[in-house]
Amino acid sequence: MQMQNEMTKRNLQLVQAIQQALEEDKLILDYQPVMYLETPDKPVFMLSCRMRTHSGQLIAYRSLRQLSAMSDLNAKLDRWLTIKGLKKIKKLRKSDPGAQLFVPLSADSVVSDDFPKWLERQLELQDFPGAGLILSFRVSDISKDIKSAIQCIKKLHELNIRISLQRFSDNPAALKLLSVVRAHYIEVPPSMLRADKNIIEKTLKFCAKLGVNIVLCGINAADEVSLDWSNGENMMLSGNYLQPPLDNMEFHFPHTLS
**pLDDT score at 110:** 96
- Whole-angstrom distance, CA of residue 231 vs CA of residue 66: 35
For the ranges 20-34, 131-145, 163-177, 237-251, the lowest mean pLDDT is seen at: 237-251
Confidence of residue 238 (pLDDT cuts 50, 70, 90): low
- Say what the pTM is: 0.89
| Model pLDDT for residues 204-218, shown as the tens digit of each residue | 999 999 999 999 888
Q: How far apart are the first and last CA of the chain?
A: 53
**pLDDT score at 63:** 92
Helix (H) or strand (E) holding 91: helix 74-95
134-152 as b/e: b if 16+ CB within 10 A: bbbbbbebbeeeeeebbbb
**Which of 206, 223, 209, 213 lies closest to 188, judged by CA?**
213
- Whole-angstrom distance, CA of residue 143 vs CA of residue 163: 15
Q: Which domains does the chain have, with CATH numbers?
A: 2-238 (3.20.20.450)
Between residues 239 and 102, the one the model is more confident about: 102
Angle at 176 between CA 35 and CA 209, to 5 degrees: 55
- Whole-angstrom distance, CA of residue 165 vs CA of residue 110: 11
CA-based radius of gyration for the chain: 18
